[in-house]
Amino acid sequence: MITLVFAHAQNAVIGRDGKLPWHLPADLKRFKALTLGKPMVMGRKTFESFPAPLPGRRHIVLTRDAAWSAPGAEVAHTVGEAFALAGKDMSVIGGAEIFRLVEDRADRAEVTVLHRDYEGDAHFVLDADGWQELAREDHPAEGERPAYSFLTLVPRR
């Protein structure tokens, strides 16, 4: 099972300067619940955005840099290598380039949609025609926090 796990603003922003442009505790809690105990496949920039490897998860880093290594990272240089390391049940957590590489192989997507535009330099959103909504949980805005939705999507294949 290949599950994409990510959040995006309504304008498709997923990151700014290697970080999330928002702080949404409920999304962080959901991310942890979805990824704990599973191998996570990610790009080098995503791995480097963490202050340290996240506990309870394997970090499989897809990079073109043959010399790159980091404590806590298992390195892969192709999608096939990354998937072989991960096994049968994995979370793909970004960034945008990695999502584009594996989107057509994914079995599921767990997406948080923030109902606000954000400035950013990384963008990704799934093609609406290729995915169907399996579940949705809407949350209203509170104070400065925007309204957001948790979506579970499956491909229309």
For the stretch 89-137, pLDDT in tens is 999 999 999 999 999 999 999 999 999 999 999 999 998 899 999 999 9
Sequence ranges of the domains in the chain: 2-155
> How far from the centroid of its chain's Cα atoms is residue 58's Cα?
14
pLDDT above 70 as % of the chain = 100
Reduce the DSSP state of residue 91 to 3 states and report it.
Answer: strand
Entry pTM: 0.96
pLDDT level of residue 143 (50, 70, 90 thresholds): very high
Question: How many whole angstroms separate alpha carbon 144 and alpha carbon 153?
Answer: 28
Kindly provide the b/e burial profile for residues 1-38, where b requires at least 16 CB atoms within 10 angstroms of the residue's own CB.
Answer: ebbbbbbbbeebbbbeeeebbbebeebeebbeebbeeb
pLDDT at 99: 97
**Site of tokens 């955005």:** 49
Question: How many whole angstroms separate alpha carbon 92 and alpha carbon 111?
Answer: 12
pLDDT level of residue 10 (50, 70, 90 thresholds): very high
17: Cβ contacts below 8 Å, ≥ 6 apart: 121
Q: What's the CATH number for 2-155? A: 3.40.430.10
